[in-house]
Chains A and B, each alone.
Chain A
Amino acid sequence: MERERWCIHVQGIVQGVGFRPFVYALALRRRLSGFVLNNSQGVVIEVEGSTEVLQDFQHALQADLPPLAHIDTLQISHIANKQESSFVIVESERQAERNTLISPDSAICQDCLQELFDPQDRRFHYPFINCTNCGPRFTIIQDIPYDRANTTMAHFQMCPDCQQEYRDPLDRRFHAQPDACALCGPQIRFSTATAADSQDSIEQAAAQLARGAVLALKGLGGYHLACNALDERAVQRLRQRKRREAKPFALMVETLEVARQFCSISDDEAILLQSYRRPIVLLQQHSGLQVASDVAPGHNTLALMLPYTPLHYVLFEQCRRIFSTSQPVILVMTSGNLSDEPIAYRDEDARERLGPISDGILYHNREIFIRCDDSIVRHTTAGPQILRRARGYVPEPLTLPWPVPTPILACGAQLKNTFCMAKDQQAFVSHHIGDLENLETLRSFKEGIAHFQRLFDITPQVVVHDLHPDYLSTRYATELNLPAIGVQHHHAHIASVIIEHGLTEPVIGIAADGSGYGPDGAIWGGEILMADLCHFQRCFHLAYMPLPGGEQAIKQPWRMAAAYLCAAYGSDFEHIPLPFIQQLDHSTWKTLAQMIERKLHCPATSSLGRLCDAVAALIGLRSHVQYEGQAAIELEQLATTCPASSHPYAFDLLAQTGQIDVLPMIRTIVDDLLKHVPPAQIARRFHFTVAHLLTSTCVEVSKRSGVQKVALSGGIFQNRLILEELVQSLASQNFIVYLNHKVPTNDGGISLGQLAVAAAQLNEG
C-alpha cells in the first residue's frame, strides 16, 4: 500500500474550539502518524498513512467539525515521509503574520450543563465550568495566539486534576484555555452594603432577589442589573435607580417552556433563543402570564434570552428553590449602567457606578478584558434581523465577495457605533460600541480599534468615515493621518445590503432613518437612491421640511408636527380645533414659527423618522421622547392594535424635483382627526401609506431604469409594520427585495457599508 505524507493548512475558527484534539482523535482512530499544531496562521497538520485512509481523514476533518469550529480554507501539500510512530499535538508556535480567527463567546454546552448539576461531578455547581465547546472567548482574550497566557485566566494556576484534563488530547477539556474548577479557578463573591463577601454567594443573591432587591450581576461581557420581573415594585425600583424612564428591559428565563408561558415563540425563534450565541430575541407577548407592567411599558413585544453562563443556571436553580411562589422565575436582565452610559465591565467600575443603585453585587475574579453587550435579534416575515450585534457573534468575520485592495478601517456612525476592519477577503465588524458622545464609549471605540488591529494583525492604510463633520468617529478618522474616504450615510446603509448579498449591478436603495448628513448640508433620512458600491444617485426623497431647533426637534416630536402643519396650512393652522394644536404653548409655538420663517437653526430634513414623529405628535400620542425612536415605536405599537388598512393616504411624487410631498396626507390626517377617526386607525393607515408610497416610488424609478432589485436599510426598518408591509407590496410589484441579515439595519451596519464603498472605489481606481 502506498504511504504518503500530507501537510494540511487550515484557516478559520480553528483555535480554542477543540480543533486539535478533534484532529488528534481522528488521526488516532485511523492509526495515522504525524502532528498537529496551532500557529498564528491557523492550524497545521502533518499526517502520514495510506492514501485511502488519508482521504477518509480529510473527509472527516471537514464533515465532523466540533460545534464552534469553522473552516474557511484548507490547503493540502504532499511532502516527504518522516516515518514517526505516533501522532502528537505540538505546542503553539508564534509567527509574524496572524491570520487565525477567534471564536465568539459561547453559551454553556449540554455536556457542561449536565456536569454542573451532577452532584457526583467535581464541578458540581461550579459557576465557571466550561470546555473546548463552550465558554468565554472573545471577552477574555488579550492577544493571540489563543493560549491561557494571553487570556485573563493567566493568573489562575491549574490544579493537578485540571492540568490532566488540559493535557489529555482525548478529554473534552484538552487545551480548553479557560478550564478551571472550584479548587483552582475563579471564585464567585456576593457583596452588599451591609455584609462583606460571603461564602454561599449565589444562594444569598437569590434570597435577595426573592425579597425584591436589585442586583448587579457580572456576566460574560459586562454587568447586568437584575431583579424579579414579576415583582412590580422591584421593577419600578430598578427603573428609578437606573434613571431609565421608559425603554424596555430585557428578561431572562431558565427554559423555553417558561418563555412560552408569556411569549409566542415560533420554531425559528426557538432556534435563535437556544443557539450557542444566545442573543436577546424580541418576541410577541401573549395574554398568558403577565410580567410587571414596567418591564416594557407601551410595548407588546418583550426582549428575552435564555441563560448563557453556568452562573446564570446556578442562580436560576437557587431562585427556583427560594422564591416562594408557584410562578416560574423570570428575571429582568438589563445592561449594568445608568441611562445611556456604556455597561460596566470592570469590577472597580461596577462597584463605583452600580454599587449605589443596586442592593448587592454578584461578581467574580475572572476579568472581562473587553466589554461586549448582549446581542439583539428578531424574526420577521422578511427574515431574521440582527438589531445589535455583539456577544456570540463578534468577532466572526464576514467574507467579502472579493479581497480589499489594502487594509481598511471604517469608523462607523455616531450612535449605535460599530467600526469595521478588513484585510484580504475578511471584514471584521466590531461589537456594538454605542453612542460616541459618551466619553467612556469613545474610549472603548479607540481601545476596540487597537484591540482588533492586534488580534487580526491589521494595520489600516485607509480610513473611512461618515460625511457628518461633527461625528466623533469622523473626527477620529480625520485625525489619523491616513488617506481618508468620506462615505454618505445613506449610501453606506444601502452598501451594507449590497455587500451582504454580493450584488454586482446597481440596485434601487431605500434608505430610511432618523437622520444622516447629506452632501447638500441637509439632514437626509427618506431617500430612494440608485446605487452600486462605488456610486449613488438620489432619485427621490421626502420633500424638505424644517427641523426647528435641530436636535431639539428630534427630542420633541411636537416641533415636527408643528413644522408639517405650518407647511400644510401656514400659520393659520393655529385655529384648527385639534387637541394637539390647542395644547401647544402659544408663545413657544410663536417663536418656533418665527424660527421657521427666518430659517433660524432650522436645518432642512427629508427624514422619514421625523415624519413618523410628526404623525405620532399630531394624533396626540407623544410630544416629547425619553429615548431614541420612542414616538415612532409607540406609533407602530398603536397601529398593530388595528386591522390592516388598504387605503393609502394621498401624496404626490414630483418627478421633476424628485420630491415626495406628503402634505396631502397631513391634511387628510387632520380631517380624520376632526371627524374623530380613532388614532389607532390613522396610525395603521399611515404605516400602510409609507409602504405604499415607497413602493410607488420604486415603480417610478424602475420605469426609468429597468432595475428590479431593491435594497432596504436604515433605522426605519426596525419598524416591523413598515418593513413587512413594504416587503410584501414590493414583492407584489415583482421587485426582488434585499435586507440586512448579518449586520444591523440601523447605524450599527454603517461601518460595513462604509468599508464596502471605500474598498470598491479603491478597486475601481
Chain B
Amino acid sequence: LSHGSGGKATHNLIEGIFAPAFANTVLDRMEDAASLTLGGLRLAFTTDSYVVNPLFFAGGDIGQLAVHGTINDLAMAGADPLYLSVSMILEEGFPIDVLRRIVDSMARAAREAGVLIVTGDTKVVQRGKADGIFINTAGVGTIRAVAELGQTQVRVGDRILLSGAIGDHGVAIMLAREELDIETDVQSDSAPLHTLVATLLDNVGNSIHCFRDPTRGGIATSLNEIALSSELSIALDEQAIPVHAGVRGACEILGLDPLTIANEGKLLAMVAPEAEQLALKVMRAHPLGKEAMVIGTVQADPPGMVFLRTDIGGTRVLDMLVGDPLPRIC
C-alpha cells in the first residue's frame, strides 16, 4: 500500500476493493455523504478519519479539522449538519495538555457551527502502534436540498463555481510539517461550509446540481472524479482560478501545482448556466465566498477528462495526483 496522499492511489483503492465488497444502491453513488430516507425524513450520514502531521498549524489544528471536515461532507449532500460522533485513537503517552487543547478546539468548532457532539469512543493503543492521535468523526444532518444533488446530476453546460482561493490548507500544513523557511502568511482555510450551502440552496437551489469540497488531491482530483462518474468533460479557465500569492510562491519553489493541493474550507458548485450570475452573487455575499469565481464549464467531450485552458491559449490535460508528481517532461 502506498501512502494515501489522496488522488488516484486512494481512488483506485476505493474502486478496486471497497466499492465492490460493500456494494449497495446508496454507497454506489460514491458521494462524500450517504443520502438516506428514515421514517419519511431525508438524512445525510457520513464519516471521516483525521490523521494530520503536525497537529497544530497556521489557521487550525486536527480537532477543528475533524469537526469541519465532517460538517462539510454533510453540507456537500445539501444537508444541515446536526449531530456528530467523535472517536479517538490515542497513542500511549500522548500528552494530556495537548489532548485538552485539541478537544477544546473541537468543542469550539462544533459550538460555532451549531452542531452537537452527541456520542463518542476512546481507545488507547501501545506506544508505536499509532502516531499520537487519530480522530474519527461521523455526522448526521437533515437534507435541505429539494432537488437531487450529486455527481450524476451534472449536466453539459453547467458552470463550475469555486468559493475562493485554493491550496491554503495543504500549503499551510506542508510549511508547518517541514518547517520550511518560506516567508509567508498562508493559513489553513479550514471552515464549516454548511451556511454557505444553505444560502445557495435557498436562493438558487433548483439550479444547483452538485457540491464538492475539494479536500485531499485538490480541485484536480475532485473535478476528475466528477468527470469520470458523470462521463462528461470539464474545461477550466486557468486564469480564473484564484490562488493566493503566498500559495503560488510556495508552490513555485516546491514544484507543486495548487490545483492538486488540499483545501478544507472551499466548495465547488456545479450550477445550471442560467443561474451562474445569481449563484456567484449569493456566494460572494457570504463571508466564506468573497473570492468566489466561475472557473469552468461542463462539456460533453472528451468524456471523463478535465482540462485547462492555459493563459497562452493551449489546453492542458489535468490528471489526478498520485503522491508527489514525477516529471513527465524531458
Contact = CB atoms under 8 A, between A and B. Distances in A.
Interface of A: 243, 338-341, 353, 414-416, 436-440, 442-443, 468-472, 475, 513-515, 517, 521, 523, 547-555, 587-588, 590-592, 594-595, 598, 600-601, 603, 609, 628-629, 715, 746-747
Given A341-B314, A437-B316, A551 B255 contact: yes
B229 interface: no
B255 A591 contact: no
Nearest to A436: B317
B120 interface: no
A438 B255 contact: no
Contact of B253 (A438, A442, A549): A549
Main secondary structure of the interface of B (DSSP, over half): loop
B46 to A, nearest CB: 30
Given A513-B330, A550-B255, A628-B330, A594 B178 contact: yes
B252 A523 contact: no
Given A548-B255, A588-B253, A598-B178, A338 B313 contact: yes
A609 B302 contact: no
Nearest to B250: A591
B319 interface: yes
Given A550-B326, A554-B327, A594 B319 contact: no
Contacts of A598: 178
A4 B3 CA distance: 76
Given A552-B255, A595-B254, A600-B254, A339 B327 contact: no
B23 interface: no
B314 A340 contact: yes
Contacts of A475: 319
B183 interface: yes
B151 to A, nearest CB: 19
Contacts of B14: none
Contact of A440 (B183, B253, B315): B315
B315 A515 contact: no
Interface centre among B182, B256, B305, B328 (most CB of A within 10 A): B328
B326 A438 contact: no
Nearest to B9: A469
Nearest to A443: B302
B211 interface: no
Contact of B329 (A341, A515, A549): A515
Contacts of B252: 552
A587 B307 CA distance: 34
Interface centre among B255, B307, B315 (most CB of A within 10 A): B255
A547 B327 contact: yes
Interface residues of B, number: 30
Given A439-B305, A443-B302, A603 B324 contact: yes
B54 interface: no
B181 interface: yes
Contact of A549 (B180, B181, B254): B254
Given A439-B305, A549-B253, A550-B255, 16 more contacts: A338-B314, A341-B313, A415-B329, A416-B330, A436-B317, A515-B330, A521-B326, A550-B325, A553-B255, A554-B329, A554-B330, A555-B329, A591-B181, A594-B180, A595-B254, A601-B256
A68 B325 CA distance: 47
B314 A601 contact: no
B17 interface: no
Contacts of B316: 437-439
Interface centre among A437, A443, A471 (most CB of B within 10 A): A437
Contact of B315 (A439, A600, A746): A439
A470 B330 contact: no
A551 B305 contact: no
Given A437-B328, A554-B329, A598-B178, A472 B319 contact: yes
B322 interface: yes
A-B complex: 3 closest residue pairs judged by Cβ atoms: A549-B255, A552-B255, A514-B330
A567 to B, nearest CB: 19
B12 to A, nearest CB: 10
Contact of A470 (B253, B312, B313, B322): B322
A338 B312 contact: yes
A341 B313 CA distance: 9
A439 B178 CA distance: 35
Contact of A468 (B181, B182, B255, B328): B328
B330 A442 contact: no
B326 A517 contact: yes
Given A438-B317, A592-B253, A550 B302 contact: no
Interface centre among A339, A436, A439, A523 (most CB of B within 10 A): A439
Interface centre among B180, B319, B326 (most CB of A within 10 A): B326
Given A340-B314, A600-B178, A439 B302 contact: yes
B116 to A, nearest CB: 40
Interface in B109-130: none
Interface centre among A548, A551, A628 (most CB of B within 10 A): A551
B140 to A, nearest CB: 38
Contacts of A470: 319, 322, 325-326, 328
8 contacts: A416-B330, A436-B317, A515-B329, A551-B327, A594-B180, A595-B178, A595-B180, A601-B256
A471 B327 CA distance: 10
B16 to A, nearest CB: 13
A603 B327 CA distance: 9
